[in-house]
Copies of this chain bind each other. A is one copy, B any other.
Amino acid sequence: MTEATALTRNQSLVHNTLRQADGPLSAYTILDRLRDDGFRAPLQVYRALDKLTSLGLVHRLESLNAFVACAGEHRHGENELIAFAICERCGQVEEFADPVVCERLEAWAGDNAFHADKTTIEIRGKCAVCRAA
C-alpha cells in the first residue's frame, strides 16, 4: 500500500488547519488562516486541497463550497460512498456510510447503464445538540 504518503509542507498546513477547525472551512478562510505561514494566493490552498481530497484526507462539501477534514472510519482513497449530515446552526459535520443506500444507488446505475464516478450525499439540517438548545 501507499501507506506513508508524506505530505508536503503546504499540504500539511492545510490539513492541520482543517483538523483544528470545528467545522467546514472555505478555501479562502483557510488561506486567511495561513497568511502567517506564508500563504499568499488561493491556488496554494486549492492545490493542497486537491491532493488531500484525492488522498481521502479531506472531503469537499458541495452544498457549502467548503472543505472538512475526514472524520470517518472509512478507508481513505477508496471509492466508498459517504453521506454527510451538516448542521446549519453549529456547522458540525457527521460522516456516515450506509450500505443499503450505496447498494440502491448502484442498483439504479446498473439498471440505467449509468457509470457513476462520484456520488454526493449531503443532508442539511439541525443536529441533536442544536435542536435541544
Contacts and interface: CB of A to CB of B under 8 A. Distances in A.
Contacts of A115: 125-126, 131
Contacts of A100: 100-101, 104
| A interface bracket (residues with beta carbon within 8 Å of B) | 20 to 34
The complex is assembled from copies of this chain, and their number is 2
B127 A114 contact: yes
B109 A119 contact: no
A105 B104 CA distance: 12
Interface in A115-133: 115-128, 131
A124 B96 CA distance: 20
B108 A116 contact: no
A98 B108 contact: yes
Interface in A76-111: 83, 85, 87-88, 94, 96, 98, 100-101, 104-105, 108-109
A112 B121 CA distance: 17
Interface of A: 62-63, 83, 85, 87-88, 94, 96, 98, 100-101, 104-105, 108-109, 112-128, 131
B105 A114 contact: no
Contact of A62 (B62, B104, B108): B62
B126 A108 contact: no
A98 to B, nearest CB: 5
